[in-house]
Amino acid sequence: MIWAKPDFSRGAVRRSGRIISSPNLPDDSYFNDPAAWSEHWERADDAFRVFENWRAAHAYPLNTFQVTLRGRAQRIDPQALTAQRLKRAPSIIAKLQRFERMNLDRMQDIGG
């Protein structure tokens, strides 16, 4: 399996979090200005690309930790269970919207 590496700066990640969590969608006036409409969606598309890369980059360290934890837990109890998960994109966006001062690059529960 090929693991994702962060391809963008923390500043770019922070900006993408602000863009994707913004409740402000273009209004009807954008339909009268195709260039503005196109620019808005191109910006949103770029933000989602940064967002998905940032989220995916948490998979490798999360998996590494889980494998180590599973090995140690099973030495103590052979029936011990471990699990891992990446927070789903809608949950991340909802959290960014709920907490206005939350920044995507500082969110601590993307993987767990």
pLDDT of 29 reads: 59
Asked whether residue 69 is assigned to any structural domain, the reply reads yes
Task: For residue 20, report the phi and psi dihedrals to the nearest 5 degrees.
Answer: -75, -20
Asked whether residue 3 is assigned to any structural domain, the reply reads no
In the numeric block, the tokens 């949103």 are attached to 44
pLDDT of 41 reads: 77
Asked whether residue 84 is assigned to any structural domain, the reply reads yes
pLDDT of 25 reads: 57
CB 30 within 8 A of CB 2: no
Asked whether residue 2 is assigned to any structural domain, the reply reads no
Q: Which range marks the domain in which residue 50 is found?
A: 10-22+30-106
The first and second tokens of residue 52, run together, are 């998905």
Angstrom CA distances, 73 to 62, 84, 86, 112, stand at 16, 14, 21, 16
pLDDT of 26 reads: 58
The first and second tokens of residue 94, run together, are 């909802």
Q: Position 18: which residue type?
A: R
pLDDT of 37 reads: 63
Length of the chain, in residues: 112
- Number of structural domains the chain divides into: 1
pLDDT of 69 reads: 94
pLDDT along the chain (112 residues), means of 10: 90 94 66 68 90 95 94 95 92 93 94 88
Asked whether residue 50 is assigned to any structural domain, the reply reads yes
CB 92 within 8 A of CB 104: yes
